[in-house]
Structures are given as structure tokens and as C-alpha cells.
Amino acid sequence: MLTDSDIERWLREDVGHHDVTNDVPGTTEGRLVAKETGVVAGLDAATAVFEYLDCAVETPIESGTAIDAGDVVLRVDGPAQSVLRGERVAVNVTGHASGVATKTRAAVDAAESTTTDSTPRIAGTRKTTPGLRGIEKRAVAAGGGDTHRLDLSHMVMVKDNHIAEMGLVDAIEHFRERASFATKLDVEVEAPEDAPRTAEAGADIVLLDNMSPGETERAADLVAAADADALTEASGGITVADVPAYAETGVDIISMGSLTHSAPTLDFSFRTG
């Protein structure tokens, strides 16, 4: 949830203590213009920045829309000083969010390009920028992806360190006893042979970590054969180029930290007058 204090912090960081650069009289109109093809996101945050500065904002298109170079994604009018003060923050947040959405859409398209009977979901992870998780997660959704868990409270992930300390079955039982009935358990395994045992022990999702496509397919088949009603999730350094191979394995979810931590910024410019 974006708050006024978030926006104030962004603007204070950019404006500093004595802003001479934007000391411009009168009123003006501004346009946020795409300089390359992609998927736009972050318009809600850009709008909030300008509205905080008492400017009127119009967004002619919605987040999640495919755009071309030259498309205007936001219009603003108000005091020239306010419009110019909000410019850089709005451009930066829109460019970053749109980069995440664009990369997510590429991954979703790659998954849908396969000939499998069911297309796996493309999901983000918690590998987000501190302070920007909400914007980045919404950008993943705008690109057609699944947000995965938003924070630690949304789902229990039983990782390798938990299993090393308690053992697989005991770790699952430990967290199942402490979690709400509404909270799912996502349990990490590193070998295909451990996948069905994990599903049978009560995991809602079996996380197939750092496995090759061949290993992932074997693990997914073993879970299906166990008939334990668990989803399978592939994760661990998967790139957009890797997505088709993993989509063919039969997994239900492909999680990709690179959607947020390695997405390039989509280029925008801000023009006034």
C-alpha cells in the first residue's frame, strides 16, 4: 500500500533541501511518453506522486497494456514547479515497474508458446527491492504473472535449512501445527526422489529447487503418481529463455526471481509544454 510518507520520502530524496532547478513560475502540462515497446505498469504510483503535489493527472491507458514507442501513458497539469518536481520520481517508478511487467509478459508468452496440455503459472518471488515490493508485485501482476507470497505471513516455505535442522517429515509437521488452516506449506526439495515423499507428508506445494528440466519432469511425474494432491513449483535461476523447457515438464508453477531483481528499466521521457 503506497502511502503519503512513501511519496514524501521519494520526493525529499530527489528534491533535497534547496531546489533551485525546478523554481519555475506559472503552470504547465506534462506528458509521460514511452520511448520503446513494452508493457506499462506503475501508473498508480506515478499518479499518486503528482496528486500529492496537487497536480491533476490523467492516465489514458491502464497498467498491463502493451505500448509502443511514442505512446503517451500519463498526462499531468498544474503548477510548473510541482510538475517538474514530480517528473523524475514518476519517470523512474514507471520505468522500473514497466520493466518488471515487460519481462513478466515475455516469460508468460514463453510458457504459453509450448504445446503442453496446461500452461504453468509464471510467479515472482520475494527477491524484491526493499521499499518497492508493492510496486514490483503489482507490476508482475500487470505483466500477467502470479505475485506468489507477498510476505512471510502469506505462506510457509520450508527451506533446505529447516530440513537440515529438523528433517523433512518433522519440519512439515512442525510448521503445519503452527500455521493457520488457511496457510499453505511450500516445501523445498533438491532431488526428484524426495518430491513424492514431500507431497505425501503434507506439503501443499513441492518446490523443485535448482533442478534441470529433465529432473523437474521426473519429479513432477513422481508427485502425480503419488496422487497426493500437491502442486509442483520449479524454481532456481530460471531465465525467460529457460521457460519453454520447464513449461514442458508438467509443473504447475515456474517461479522467477529475475522478474524483479534483474528486469531492465523500460525507457520513458517526460515532456512539458
Catalytic residues: 127
Residue type at 243 in one-letter notation: V
Would the CA dihedral through 122, 126, 129, 131 be positive or negative?
positive
Q: In sequence order, what are the beta bridge partners of 52?
A: none
Q: Is 35 helix (H, G, I), strand (E, B) or coil?
A: coil
Residue 270: closest CA among 13, 10, 50, 103? 50
236 Rama sector, left if φ>0, alpha if ψ -120 to 50, beta otherwise: left
Cα separation, 123 vs 60, in Å, equals 28
List phi, psi (to 5°) of 2: -75, 130
